[in-house]
Structure 1
Amino acid sequence: MRTTQIRQQLHDYIDSAEDKKLKAIYTLLESEFPGDYKLSTEQKKELDKRADDHKLGIGKIFTWDETVAIAQQALADRKAIK
């Protein structure tokens, strides 16, 4: 079964499930929810700066493939140091 089919079946089930079962499902998945994480003032400033840079055309943008390649290279470099 494909992920999209599973997702649709779960949505359908949740839409019609009894309250007791919904609460049980929620309890099982609760730790997966992002919660109420708040950005620090420094993190907010950095994101605002990056957004402004992007709007001005001076922010550096990478494709997903470029991002993966950079991360893989960083890991390889790190392993080489050890």
Structure 2
Amino acid sequence: MKTAEIRKQLHSYLEVADDKKINAIYTMVEDEIKETIVEYSPEFKAELDSRVNYYLKGGKMVSPTEMNKRLQSLRKKRK
């Protein structure tokens, strides 16, 4: 079974599992969950909010293709 299918089945199971099983599963992965939690500084959150607002107000954005071209150009200059 592929990972994507396992994820779907686990997600579905977690929606209906009883509290005892949820707690047991959580206990097994609790440390890993805590390691993956990212805390953003207020300054970083403000910067993200500013960028989203710029975009929502029609600010000019760069397409993924254009950004890839720019990154490739920068990489070539570094070599």
Q: TM-score range by the shorter chain?
A: 0.5 to 0.7
Match for 1:61: what amino acid?
Answer: V
Gaps of at least 5 residues in structure 2 are none
* Alignment partner, residue 51 of structure 1: 52
Deviation at 1:50, TM superposition (A): 1.0
Aligned to 1:61: 62
Q: Distance in 1 between matches of 2:56 and 2:25?
A: 42
Q: Count matched residues.
A: 76
Q: Percent identity?
A: 34
* 1:16 corresponds to: 17
TM-score for the superposition, normalised by structure 1: 0.52
Residue deviations 1:18-53 (CA, integer Å, cap 9, x gap): 60x32232123222354472x323212211221222
Q: Contact (CA 8 Å) 1:50, 1:59: kept in 2 or not?
A: no
Distance in 2 of aligned mates of 1:44 and 1:13: 34
Question: RMSD value over aligned CA atoms?
Answer: 3.6
